[in-house]
Amino acid sequence: MNSEGLAEPDEVSFGVVIPVHNEAKMLGYTLPSIQGLEPKEVIFVLDRCTGSTERIIRDFWKKRDCGEMKLVLLRVRKKSKWKIHLNFLYDLGIRKAESEIVLLSQADILHDYGKIRRNIKDALHGMVSFAVSEHPHIAPWNHFVTKTLQIVGSTFGVKPFSGVVAFSKEYYMTCRLSSNDSLNFDTQLLVSFKNKGYSYVYVLSRNLNLRPWIHSKLWNVGMDRYTAKKPFWNVLLFSLVRFMPEVFAGYLCARLKSKSQFCS
């Protein structure tokens, strides 16, 4: 790629892509955090929003001094035909980005500005994943478990993964998200980038998720972990430590379904 071999500054400009679906209450907390990242552009993908979400975003940009930070609003009127609609939203935002580096985030994240700005330059040659943990006041047990696993894993050279990721747009275009992908955007991107042999860096950071785990989605989390070839013991331990049996049940279901298809 043409960026290799060039001297890199301590900090580089980047764009942020955030899909939003009626997140008026959450944005009141997270918009200042997004501004604090000081990106070149912020692309909100407004997914069938029916409330005051767009007005809140526009009002924030008018009232706060956002400097030269460009605001882009992309409106999606109806659900896509992609297997995973969220993947469609991220792909749309990424393709509209003008920046060389794109950071994917969510409307419920409080960002660790310093860590992200100092390390996002590594995305010039692949992908960077920034650690995220649950907010300690909202989900104290899972926050403790996540931070412990992050520190222990980092000590032993294990590279975890989170949905707050940055990457080179040029690299992304060689392995884009597609309508037939069966994995959620973050897992699919990790698999695709690894298959291409692109570099991957994991950064311990203090990003906080303001929304606890949604139990209705835990079954799919387990199925995704099987598709991503996570080992049996890893998923079992995850489910036990976090008191989330739905994850393990989803993993077992996907495993049994795969074996039955193979046998037939």
Q: Torsion angle, CA of 34/37/43/47, rounded to 10 degrees?
A: -30
Alpha carbon distances (Å) from 198 to 38, 113, 126: 26, 25, 5
CA-wise closest residue to 107 among 182, 183, 32, 194: 32
CA-wise closest residue to 123 among 34, 37, 8: 8
Report pLDDT for 10. Answer: 62
Q: What does the buried/exposed string (b/e) look like for 24-37 if buried means 16 or more CB atoms within 10 Å of the residue's CB? A: bebbeebbebbbeb
Report pLDDT for 264. Answer: 47
Q: How confident is the prediction along the chain (264 residues), in pLDDT tens digits per residue?
A: 444 444 455 668 999 999 999 888 899 899 999 999 999 999 999 999 988 999 999 999 988 877 788 999 999 999 999 999 999 999 999 999 999 999 999 999 999 999 999 999 999 999 999 999 988 888 888 888 888 877 877 777 767 778 899 999 999 999 999 999 988 899 899 999 999 999 999 999 999 999 866 777 778 888 878 877 788 887 888 888 878 888 889 889 988 887 766 554
Q: Report the amino acid identity of residue 144.
A: F
Q: Looking at domain 15-212, does it have CATH number 1.50.10.10?
A: no
Residue 33 contacts residue 111 (beta carbons within 8 Å): yes
Which pair of tokens denotes residue 22?
């009626």
Strand partners, 70: 41
Report pLDDT for 224. Answer: 79
Report pLDDT for 151. Answer: 80
**Tens-digit pLDDT profile for residues 181-216:** 988 899 899 999 999 999 999 999 999 999 866 777
- Domain boundaries in the chain? 15-212, 214-264
Alpha carbon distances (Å) from 19 to 34, 142, 171, 226: 13, 25, 21, 26
